[in-house]
Amino acid sequence: MTARVIDGKAFAANVRAQVAAHVARLKEEQGLTPGLAVVLVGEDPASQVYVRNKGTQTAEAGMASFEHKLPADTSEADLLALVARLNADPKVHGILVQLPLPAHLNSELIINTIDPAKDVDGFHISNVGLLGTGQKSMVPCTPLGCLMMLRDHHGKLAGLSAVVVGRSNIVGKPMAQLLLGDSCTVTIAHSRTRDLAEVCRRADILVAAVGRPEMITGDMVKPGATVIDVGINRIERDGKARLVGDVHYESAAAVAGAITPVPGGVGPMTIACLLANTLTACCRANGLPEPEGLTA
């Protein structure tokens, strides 16, 4: 068996195109422009690249982009004051504070100061609680992207057995909640799960989000299963730096029915879903119907 490759890059481009079409209609019919504010504190190289890509794709979708780049020694009081101003700004529908923050800043305090309705990362404790109880919320971007790809591949997910390997607040836990919401039978596993291979082999849907390079191998995959690899790990191999996922791609692809590659799988969906969340937040703020197919 050779797995179908789920092309996250192409899927993300389609999502961005849908978002752009909705934005154009909002402008024409309602005079509204969704706005995304991104706050970057310090000069972490990876964060700088990520923020730059967000700004570019926000503009390409026809949205307003507001970037706030602050020095690494910004005080907590100043950062909280900026968040408060963005909360009160009607032109800003989505707020994202880029993580990680410098060590002297309390990330949880900052995130939980964002207006939950503008929390397009879906990290605010109110959104976590709403998602966990099956209510309307802002959903974390990476799990939302995974869900979109799974729905596209399978159609309905009801009744499928899903295993999520990883229990982070950013991916593992919200991914499990989203799968439960689509009526999957869900197991959350992790690095300390006893007989992890046997647990994984029961999965029709296997989501790897554990942060360990190539931890999930082909002998841990049920024949025909759909494998979603959330991991992005930089390793040295044959004297060269390579990006690999949490799944050993070659061995898993020989067994699975479908698989996401790394790079080019889940990664591109994260920013696409950030744009989708900003659009959703704008529609909710103005009492308009939410865009179909772009929310959980």
Provide DSSP, 31-53.
Answer: ----EEEEEEES--HHHHHHHHH
98 a catalytic residue: yes
Task: Let me know if 281 is exposed, middle or buried by CB neighbors in 10 A (0-12, 13-18, 19+).
Answer: buried
54 a catalytic residue: yes
Under 8 Å between Cβ of 16 and 57: yes
Under 8 Å between Cβ of 67 and 55: yes
CA distance 56 to 233: 24
CA end-to-end span of the chain? 31
Kindly state the tokens that stand for 12: 């993300």
Helix, coil or strand: residue 65: strand
Give the pairing of strands 233-237 and 240-244: antiparallel
Which strand (E) or helix (H) includes residue 285? Answer: helix 267-285
Choosing from 18, 98, 115, 204, which is the catalytic residue?
98
Under 8 Å between Cβ of 283 and 119: no
Choosing from 115, 118, 119, 121, which is the catalytic residue?
121
Query: Who's near 28: CB < 8 A, 6+ residues apart?
Result: none
CA distance 74 to 247: 39
Which strand (E) or helix (H) includes residue 235? Answer: strand 233-237
121 a catalytic residue: yes
Under 8 Å between Cβ of 205 and 165: no
Choosing from 54, 118, 173, 222, which is the catalytic residue?
54
Active site residues: 54, 98, 121
